[in-house]
Amino acid sequence: MSTEHPIRNAEVHTFERKDVGEGTALWLARLYPYNTYPIFFQGHSEDDVVAQAESLRAEAISKYEKAYITKQEAKLKRKETLIKKKEKTND
């Protein structure tokens, strides 16, 4: 069971855009896995988009990690309770 929010392990992938006009975002970043984090970050430098992604990661961890861990612990406890009930009925 994980004791941390999975966004901690998300990779930041960056892409340089070659098809842009002046004043358009030159860099994109995404958190991987893409289906889990369908978010794009746009900026004029790679550092800018990485900073945006890291900022979102930090915000998600501070807001949601405690609740995520509590939920995971409750799932484990529920699973253990079901196993004990099953063992009692089999005795």
Residue 2 is predicted with a pLDDT of: 66
How far apart are the C-alpha atoms of 44 and 23, rounded to whole Å?
9
Check pLDDT > 80 for residue 91: no
Three-state DSSP state, 60 = helix
- Residue-wise pLDDT for 15-38, tens only, equals 999 887 776 779 999 999 999 999
Can you name the residues that pair with 29 across neighbouring β-strands?
14, 41
Nearest in space to 32 (alpha carbons), one of 57, 55, 51: 57
CA-based R_g, the chain, Å: 20
